[in-house]
Amino acid sequence: MDRRTWVFLTIVAVFIGAKAYAQQPQRPPAIQLFVTDMHCKHCAKKIASKLYTVRGVASVTTNVASGQALITPASGQQVSPKKLWESVESIKFTPTKLVTPQAVFHQKPAT
């Protein structure tokens, strides 16, 4: 293969790769939920399991050290801040702060 062909094929490959990357669906912004009484891995697992029951939740990651759950909505889905807050309350934990792309809540959201 001569140099000209190699350069042409490289440019085509880069263009195809860039186009495929640009067409990938964008991840929705994550939601942070802070829980004061998340003390151990068992607590974190219980909270995450309950958060997965909320409609539109794609993934949940918990961090015991920071007392935080990071919630990623499913692509194209809206997650109710109120439902997230209530799901944690329903298993006797205390949410203290909820950070969404739209607002920050220090008490249970209205919707």
Q: With beta carbons less than 8 A apart as the criterion, state whether 79 and 57 touch.
A: yes
pLDDT, block means (10 residues), the chain with 111 residues: 70 64 66 94 96 96 96 92 97 96 94 83
- Whole-prediction pTM: 0.75
Are 32 and 102 spatial neighbours (Cβ–Cβ below 8 Å)? no
Within 13 A of 57's CA, how many CA atoms are on the CB side?
A: 22
Q: What's residue 14's pLDDT? A: 65
Q: For the chain, which residues make up each domain, given as ranges?
A: 31-105
pLDDT score recorded for residue 24: 56
Q: Name the nearest CA neighbour of 50 among 85, 81, 77.
A: 85
Instruction: Calculate the dihedral angle through the C-alpha atoms of 61, 92, 73, 97, rounding to the nearest 10 degrees.
Output: -90
Fold exhibited by the domain 31-105:
Alpha-Beta Plaits (3.30.70)
Nearest to 50 by CA among 81, 84, 95: 84
